[in-house]
Amino acid sequence: MVLESNIPEGPIEKKWTNHKFTSKLVNPSNRRKYTVAVVGTGLAGASAAASLAELGYNVLAFSYHESPRRAHSIAAQGGINAGKNYANDGDSVYRLFYDTLKGGDYRAREGNVYRLAEVSGSIIDQCVAQGVPFARDYAGYLDNRSFGGAQVSRTFYARGQTGQQLLLGAYSALARQMETGGVKFFARREMLDVVLVDGKARGIVARNMLNGKVESYAADAVILATGGYANAFFLSTNAKASNATAIWRAHKKGALFANPCFTQIHPTCIPVSGEHQSKLTLMSESLRNDGRIWVPKIKDDKRLPQDIPENERDYYLERQYPSFGNLVPRDVASRRAKEMCDKGFGVGPSKMAVYLDFAEAIKRVGKEIVKERYGNLFDMYKQITAEDPYLQPMRIYPAVHYTMGGLWVDYNLMSTIPGLFVGGEANFSDHGANRLGASALMQGLADGYFILPYTVGNYLAGTKFETVKTDHAAFKDAENDVDATIMKLMNVNGTKTVDEFHREYGKVMWEFVGMGRNKAGLEKALTLLPKIREAFWKDVKLTGEANDINTELEKAQRVADFLELGELMARDALHREESCGGHFREEHQTDEGEAMRNDEKFAYVAAWEFKGIGTEPAMHKEHLVFDYVKPSQRSYK
Amino acid sequence: MKLTLQVWRQERPESKGRLISYGVNDVSPDMSFLEMLDVLNIELVKKNEVPIAFDHDCREGICGSCGMMINGRAHGPGRGIATCQLHMRHFKDGDTIVIEPWRARAFPVLKDLMVDRTAMDRVMMAGGYVSTKTGGMVDGNTLLIPKPIADEAFDAAACIGCGACVASCPNSSLMLFVAAKVSQLALLPQGQHERKERVESMLAVMDENQFGSCTNTYACEAECPKEISVTHIARLNREFIRAKITA
Amino acid sequence: MKKVISFYHSSVGKKILMSLAGLFLCSFLVIHLSGNLALFKNDNGESFNHYSEFMAHNPVIRSTEILLVAGFLLHMFLGGTLWLKNRAARPEKYSAYKLSDNTPFESRNTMLSGSIVLFFLIVHLKQFFLPSRFFGETNMYALVLQAFASPLYDLLYLAALVMLAYHLKHAFQSAFQTLGLRKGKYIVLFDAVAVVFWLLIPIGFASMPIYFFLSTLK
């Protein structure tokens, strides 16, 4: 299989413009004849569904939530990047492109990343028009703040709830289309299979979570915008229901899965408090603007943080990276925190935490300003830990947060299955091996508002469609497969609950496929993970009925898919004999402990083809070409 | 600590529910309320029983999925938090906790503690937006919004749509939810052109969906996880009057 | 006309009409109280009887009376309608419901306080309004003195005033909220006026039975 990225010809700043011009168009009066199924209604899905419906396409939108407004995009806190140079600090589209490519450790396509930077400004304008209450200054202009991995202020924000405000903006556009009938919204539907007819994606099969009915929906194109797969680790900052089922089932139907090992560990999360822990809570990266990270200079220091004098504190990021200081990219900050804890300098009851201290900021700008900037985050922290960050430093530790990997897509965001498009975190695209802060919201909305509406149209206009209805044999087969899997799960009747399996699996994933990876560990994971998968199918216990609301069954389906995906993540991590971005192979580091890339051997996208459960997948390479930004050793010193 | 839970169990929307008593042991004060229910659910499954169904997702108080009446309070004791942010340190050993679903005619129970809140979507669909289309926007900075206005609009926009306002209200009224959206868009220049239609149409759909009416008890403000102020309801009322008396 | 109908059909529209009617009734309370203060004039009831006579037979007052009755009926009808709608909005009640943790007594019990005030109003009308207005009673002062001499009646009167105070305590600020006037710096102002109102009006009325009852003890 040859992977065609379909990057348009021409200079980088003209590629997208040229592509839009050469794309085929669907006549406005013909658009209503096409049906597009959009699975997932977070930032990417809701914006794509609304925009396509505005153009006149007939859109079916699916969510496993009761309402589009519940999607996990809502939890993004810090902000959204855009290269508008409002701060007059030398920002530009090119700089945003450069920073994103460099931040991703040169494992993304130049063409895609440039396009992302190019449309970033329009996203802000679009959201402003929708009434998103971005932070403003007293004169009324949009305010910016800085984020990790950049030396300019280009992050637009709405207090600590930017994701919420952007999602509610996209949701409002979607609600408007739901009212006009342009979008038919199907709530509480979980996509369990994508249906292929003549090799093209022609619809989906979904389970109605209210009554267990397996339903088929036919379409001319399918967009998956179903988010990332960080919950493979059980403990992550993702929402409880976030899952990989849609993309994994598409993968099993032939869509290649790219760079599955690229997972992002977020440096500032609230540490684990005990065995009961069900998920981890992120504290926005924006906190690193004013918070200083430190550990005591003495190992196992028992003193309270406020009792430790300045000269006995190690502000290790400021010491090691004088120019970026506390604002180094996420992967660097995370690894350094782990290193400090592994060396015994960790703090808190578990000793697996470092301090994030606001005392200096409070002294410098006053408590009120700090409260205005981070009030909701401080409150959230206090709720969870019963400690007041205005009075004592936060304790933080890295946690799995985002997955850069995902289904392989070309420049048109189409997977290797014709007619199956993938947007947002679900695709592998633009962040390379590491995503910079405030870039996820940017990418999700870029895909949904400004890219998919063009590229889906291009596909529809250039493809011949046979009429396919849900009584087609392909739908019946898919329904039967889905039913069979459900019944198989219901009938195991073992002894262990889904959560127990998931937690056990997650621990193996975190230990061996987590922040630091090595050959021996990954090989061990590849022997342990299949065992858990096999045990799951022999010993999982579900109660209740399949034809009813059944939360255990919902979880079981998702976990069953994670149990397969985890192996692919480990396999990909094992094959990638280099360190880059969020993928840190302990064998490949500089003397100073920095990630060491191997551009000669690994400047490619690893796209995996499914060959059966427990069978080794086939890897296909898409070589990355860098015409504009020459890969260099990332340095944030 | 040891607790007794009295949990509302209801198999289907049409079936009759009742409170069932469960004992939970070894509850850690650091657990969240939902983690405590997770532990109970694992035990139930092991005992071959059907676990308690409840909506939840982000578990950090922003998605608005979770919501239950805990000891007669929406989202339980404490202010400014959703159920998922409630931690067990707010309870003490030996406590009995009554857990019920949101109760309102407009929020029919689907199963156990899970209710159908799609009525809120229908209200949003009636005008909770600015009728923009994707593309062709003017630069964000051509629209100046002074900080105090932007801040006030944000305060309203912070609504997570959990429905605690309805659940806590003696009248099951949706006014705070509607007010939050109407107020946000009435404050911002973007919302001006559809101001009248918006308030009229959202309120009409609110009434159609059989929510009660506001009697200004302000229970909603007290239980709102985002502490949205009832001054937004006053603005909603103003907007309504304005829409009705101006041509 | 369509606008008027849709206004009335909206729950918010009904609330606005109800609060306007309520505020109108409040204005009546002020007039009634200021007139009744004539009781305290040490002229053996001459001023009070004069005032009663004026109230019962002045054509302007007589025509306003119709408005007043209409206001009462409207207020009660809308209150009742919304109350029924609100009961119906929660068919299954909570088995544990701590509304009291978040709301003051008066806000939860306007229907109760209103009903008690209504009951008292009927007694009150029978006792004073009917004789003066329809049966040609001219010495209202004597009637009042006679009534206030009864401790039982005084207790009923005071109890009703307590309920009126509760009713006003909620209703007065609630009306401003419903009319959308409770905003920004006015909130403090309205809330202060509300306190003065719900406290002073009932105290003013209460001073009469207390004064006259005490004077019978002398």
pLDDT tens, position by position, A204-231: 999 999 999 999 999 999 999 999 999 9
- Residue A311 is predicted with a pLDDT of 95
Confidence tier at A377 by pLDDT (50, 70, 90): confident
Q: What is the distance between the alpha carbons of residues A517 and A348, in angstroms, rounded to a whole number?
A: 25
Q: Which residue has the higher pLDDT, B176 or A283?
A: B176
Q: Which domains does chain B have, with CATH numbers?
A: 3-111 (3.10.20.30), 117-245 (1.10.1060.10)
Both tokens of A283, joined, read: 């504290």
- Touching B: A residues 263-322, CB under 8 Å: 273-274, 276-279, 281-282
Q: What is the distance between the alpha carbons of residues A240 and A355, in angstroms, rounded to a whole number?
A: 27
Binary contact (C95, B100; C-beta < 8 A) = yes
Q: In what order do the strands lie in the sheet with B3-9?
A: B18-24, B3-9, B96-100, B69-70, B73-74
Which residue spans within A18-152 are E strands per DSSP? 35-39, 58-62, 80-81, 144-146
Nearest CA among A558, A567, A515, A565 for reference residue A540 = A558
Of B104, B215, B238, the CB nearest to C180: B238
Q: What is the distance between the alpha carbons of residues C132 and C139, in angstroms, rounded to a whole number?
A: 9
Token pair 């399996």 is found at: A501
Express as a percent the part of chain A with pLDDT over 90.
Answer: 90
Q: How many residues comprise chain A?
A: 637
Q: Over 70: is that where the pLDDT of A52 sits? A: yes
Nearest-CA distance C185 → chain B (Å)? 11
Q: Over 70: is that where the pLDDT of A354 sits? A: yes
Q: What is the mean pLDDT of residues A355-375?
A: 93
Asked if residue B124 lies in contact with residue B99, where contact means CB atoms within 8 angstroms, the answer is: no
Binary contact (A140, B147; C-beta < 8 A) = yes
pLDDT tens, position by position, A405-448: 999 999 999 999 999 999 999 999 899 999 999 999 999 999 99
Q: Phi and psi for C104 in degrees, rounded to 5?
A: -75, 160
Both tokens of A390, joined, read: 């205005």
Token pair 């050959």 is found at: A519
Q: Phi and psi for A403 in degrees, rounded to 5?
A: -120, 120
Average pLDDT, chain A: 95
Q: What is the distance between the alpha carbons of residues A222 and A205, in angstroms, rounded to a whole number?
A: 11
Q: Which of B215, B236, B238, B245 to mutate to probe the C interface, most C CBs <10 Å? A: B215
- CB-facing half-sphere around the CA of A178: CA atoms within 13 A: 26
pLDDT tens, position by position, B1-18: 999 999 999 999 999 999
| Residue A350 amino acid letter | S
Asked if residue B180 lies in contact with residue C96, where contact means CB atoms within 8 angstroms, the answer is: no
CA terminus-to-terminus distance, chain B: 63
Confidence tier at C215 by pLDDT (50, 70, 90): confident
Confidence tier at B82 by pLDDT (50, 70, 90): very high
Q: Over 90: is that where the pLDDT of A499 sits? A: yes
Question: CB contacts < 8 Å between B and C, how many?
Answer: 140
Binary contact (C97, B230; C-beta < 8 A) = no
- Phi and psi based region of residue B50 (left: phi greater than 0; alpha: psi -120 to 50; beta: remaining): beta
**Vertex A421 angle, CA A489 and A241, to 5°:** 40
Q: What is the distance between the alpha carbons of residues C17 and A130, in angstroms, rounded to a whole number?
A: 34
Helix (H) or strand (E) segment spanning residue A206: strand A200-208
Asked if residue A425 lies in contact with residue A402, where contact means CB atoms within 8 angstroms, the answer is: yes
| Domain ranges across chain C | 2-90+110-217
Asked if residue A217 lies in contact with residue A206, where contact means CB atoms within 8 angstroms, the answer is: yes
Strand pairing class (A221-224; A35-39): parallel
Residues of chain B with C-beta less than 8 angstroms from the C-beta of A500: 42
Of B217, B218, B237, the CB nearest to C12: B237
Q: Are A and C neighbours with ≥3 CB pairs closer than 8 A?
A: no
- Residue A591 is predicted with a pLDDT of 85
Binary contact (B57, A239; C-beta < 8 A) = yes
Is residue A517 part of the annotated active site? The answer reads: no
Q: Over 80: is that where the pLDDT of A636 sits? A: no
- Residue C218 is predicted with a pLDDT of 66
- Which subunits sit against B, judged by 3+ Cβ pairs under 8 A? A, C
Residues of chain B with C-beta less than 8 angstroms from the C-beta of A69: 63-64, 121, 161
Q: Phi and psi for A352 in degrees, rounded to 5?
A: -110, 65
**C66 C-beta neighbours (distance < 10 Å), count:** 9
CATH class of segment(s) A268-399: alpha beta
Q: Provide CB contacts within 8 A for C57, sequence distance 6+.
A: none
Nearest CA among A307, A325, A324 for reference residue A316 = A325
Residues of chain B with C-beta less than 8 angstroms from the C-beta of A173: 129, 132, 134
Binary contact (C180, B173; C-beta < 8 A) = no
Q: Which of B49, B60, B144 to mutate to probe the A interface, most A CBs <10 Å? A: B60
pLDDT tens, position by position, A70-80: 999 999 988 99
Q: Could you give the dihedral angle defined by the CA atoms of residues B103, B108, B112 and B117, in that order, rounded to the nearest 10 degrees?
A: -90
CATH class of segment(s) A473-597: mainly alpha
Average pLDDT, chain B: 97
Burial class (CB in 10 A: 0-12, 13-18, 19+), B16: exposed
- Touching B: C residues 1-20, CB under 8 Å: 3, 6-7, 9-16
- Residue A80 is predicted with a pLDDT of 97
What are the Cα distances from residue A622, in Å, to A108, A417, A552, A565, A619?
A: 11, 16, 39, 21, 10
Q: What is the distance between the alpha carbons of residues A325 and B196, in angstroms, rounded to a whole number?
A: 51
Token pair 């159920």 is found at: B83
Q: What is the mean pLDDT of residues A535-554?
A: 97
Binary contact (A179, B125; C-beta < 8 A) = yes
Residues of chain B with C-beta less than 8 angstroms from the C-beta of A281: 59-60
Q: Is the dihedral of CA B59, B60, B66, B67 positive or negative?
A: positive
- Residue C133 is predicted with a pLDDT of 84
Q: What is the mean pLDDT of residues B139-158?
A: 96
Residues forming beta bridges with residue A585, ordered by sequence position: A517
Task: Evaluate if pTM is beyond 0.90.
Answer: yes
Q: Which of A88, A122, A172, A282 to mutate to probe the B interface, most B CBs <10 Å? A: A172
Q: In what order do the strands lie in the sheet with A292-296?
A: A263-269, A394-403, A354-357, A292-296, A313-314
Q: Is the dihedral of CA C9, C13, C14, C17 positive or negative?
A: negative
Residues forming beta bridges with residue A314, ordered by sequence position: A295
Contact of C181 with chain B, judged by CB distance below 8 Å, is answered with yes
Asked if residue A161 lies in contact with residue A376, where contact means CB atoms within 8 angstroms, the answer is: yes
pLDDT tens, position by position, A289-335: 899 999 999 998 999 999 999 999 999 999 999 988 998 888 889 99
Tell me, rounded to whole angstroms, the distance of Cα A335 from its chain centroid. Answer: 19
Residues of chain B with C-beta less than 8 angstroms from the C-beta of A542: 45
Confidence tier at A504 by pLDDT (50, 70, 90): very high
Q: Which of A330, A558, A597, A634 is catalytic?
A: A330
- Residue B95 is predicted with a pLDDT of 97
Q: What is the distance between the alpha carbons of residues C86 and C104, in angstroms, rounded to a whole number?
A: 19
Nearest-CA distance B35 → chain C (Å)? 22
Q: Which residue intervals of chain A bear CATH 3.50.50.60?
A: 12-78+161-264+402-461
Nearest CA in chain C to B18: C95
- Residue A379 is predicted with a pLDDT of 87
CA terminus-to-terminus distance, chain A: 41
Nearest CA in chain B to C78: B213
- Residue A147 is predicted with a pLDDT of 83
Q: Which residue intervals of chain A bear CATH 1.20.58.100?
A: 473-597
Q: What is the distance between the alpha carbons of residues A636 and B20, in angstroms, rounded to a whole number?
A: 58
pLDDT tens, position by position, A265-285: 999 999 998 889 999 998 888
Tell me, rounded to whole angstroms, the distance of Cα A423 from its chain centroid. Answer: 11
- Residue B131 is predicted with a pLDDT of 96
Q: Over 90: is that where the pLDDT of C132 sits? A: no
Residues forming beta bridges with residue A6, ordered by sequence position: none
Q: Over 80: is that where the pLDDT of C1 sits? A: no
| Residue B242 amino acid letter | R
Q: Over 90: is that where the pLDDT of A588 sits? A: yes
Q: What is the distance between the alpha carbons of residues C171 and C202, in angstroms, rounded to a whole number?
A: 14
Alpha helices in A265-366 (DSSP H): 316-320, 330-342, 359-365
Q: What is the CATH number of domain A12-78+161-264+402-461?
A: 3.50.50.60
Nearest CA among A618, A513, A495, A519 for reference residue A574 = A519
Q: Which residue intervals of chain A bear CATH 3.90.700.10?
A: 268-399
Asked if residue C89 lies in contact with residue B211, where contact means CB atoms within 8 angstroms, the answer is: yes
Q: Which of A124, A184, A549 to mutate to probe the B interface, most B CBs <10 Å? A: A549
DSSP-derived letter for residue C100 is G
